[in-house]
Amino acid sequence: MTTAAVFRSATAAPRAVTRATGESRVVRWLLISIALVFLALVLLLPLVLVFNQAFAKGLPAYWDAIVQPDALSAAKLTLLTAAIAVPANLLFGVAAAWCVTKFEFRGKSVLITLIDLPFAVSPVISGMIFVLLFGAQGWLGDWLFEHDIRIIFAVPGIVLATTFVTAPFVARELIPLMQEQGSEEEEAAIVLGASGWQTFFRVTLPNIKWGLLYGLILCNARAMGEFGAVSVVSGHIRGETNTLPLHVEILYNEYAFAASFAVASVLTLLALVTLALKTLVEKRMAS
């Protein structure tokens, strides 16, 4: 009898609170349904379709599409591009964030705006910039031709375009974080006799490592998935200047749907892994 009474009073209180602060049942269900339907249509359905199409001709055909030489070459180029663009933006992002948050100087707001530039312009235009600079008709075109340096329609152009497009990720992740942390810990380290490098590696870096990793994951995902800018500078030479996203497009345009989706599913898996990593890092950042 006593336990029943306790139980009743315990459940009565939360219910009253919900009624006072929450929406009615109909509104709640309506809002949740809209969100779920939207998620299913825009995210889940395409995800299922990618894998459905990829395996449409069976597992052997799927495997063939992935290990085909052109596909492997595209995968290699994608990895190479990311392997250069991500470390380059690690250095740039940390240096830019350090500059912006630890020092006062003229033109600081201009620098912050410039860091965001690759996000603000369309990726196609980002690609065009490099064609205008390094292409045959570009500013540096003649000089490059004379010295037999190929940038556009070659690997350097793809790396440059990818690096440009993914430049903001690390810096944008670090600037608010470092701004919030201030520079008192660095000052304390220097007063205690630490050099600039010691201060960076022993004080600054441990404080920003999770934010940095988060930025790198996003940067890597974009570097591997970038289509627009790379498409402009690549020239689509099979086995030479094709990255995975470009390879997917070529296959699709040739009506090789199953093969196209098989390669696309690799990129999709990459996205899912990125998502999982991102969630993990987010948890560590919060703790």
Partner 1 sequence: MSIEVRNLRKAFGTFVALDDVNLDVPGGELVALLGPSGSGKTTLLRIIAGLEPADQGLIRFEGEDTTDRPVRERQVGFVFQHYALFRHMSVFENIAFGLRVRPRPVRPSDEEIRDTVMGLLRLVQLEALGQRRPSELSGGQRQRVALARALAVKPKVLLLDEPFGALDAKVRKELRRWLRRLHEEVHVTSVFVTHDQEEALEVSDRVVIMNEGRVEQSGTPEEVYERPATPFVYGFLGDVNLFHGRIDRGRVKVGASELDAPEWAEARDQAGVAYVRTYDVELTPSSSGRSSIETIVRHIRAFGPVIRLELDRVEDGGSVEAHLPRAQYDKLGLVKGQRVFVSPTSVRVFAGPADGSAARIA
- Which residue is associated with the tokens 């075109």? 141
Report the nearest approach of partner 1 to the CB of residue 94 (Å). 17
Phi and psi of 242, rounded to 5°? -100, 130
**Of 84-92, 163-171, 186-194, 221-229: span binding partner 1 (CB under 8 A):** 186-194
Residue 195 contacts partner 1 per CB under 8 A? yes
Among 42, 192, 280, 285, binds partner 1 (CB under 8 A): 192
**Of 127-135, 170-178, 180-188, 215-223: span binding partner 1 (CB under 8 A):** 180-188
Can you tell me the distance from the alpha carbon of 143 to that of 27, in angstroms, rounded to the nearest whole number? 66
List alpha helices for the chain, DSSP H: 2-21, 25-39, 45-54, 58-67, 69-102, 108-120, 123-134, 141-146, 155-165, 168-181, 184-191, 196-199, 205-225, 228-234, 244-253, 257-286
**Long-range contacts of 78-82, Cβ-Cβ distance < 8 Å, separation of 24 or more:** 78/224, 78/243, 78/244, 78/245, 79/224, 80/155, 80/159, 81/155, 81/158, 81/159, 81/162, 81/223, 81/224, 81/230, 81/243, 82/162, 82/220, 82/223, 82/224
Among 61, 66, 121, 190, binds partner 1 (CB under 8 A): 190
Three-state SS at 94: helix
Report the nearest approach of partner 1 to the CB of residue 185 (Å). 5
Among 146, 148, 180, 184, binds partner 1 (CB under 8 A): 184
Closer to partner 1 by Cβ: residue 104 or 146: 104
Residue 53 contacts partner 1 per CB under 8 A? no
**Of 41-49, 72-80, 165-173, 194-202: span binding partner 1 (CB under 8 A):** 194-202
Report the nearest approach of partner 1 to the CB of residue 190 (Å). 5
Q: Which two tokens stand for residue 14?
A: 């939360």
Closer to partner 1 by Cβ: residue 112 or 194: 194
Residue 189 contacts partner 1 per CB under 8 A? yes
Site residues for partner 1, 199-258, by CB under 8 A, read 202-203, 206-207
Residues that bind partner 1 (CB under 8 A): 184-185, 187-195, 198, 202-203, 206-207
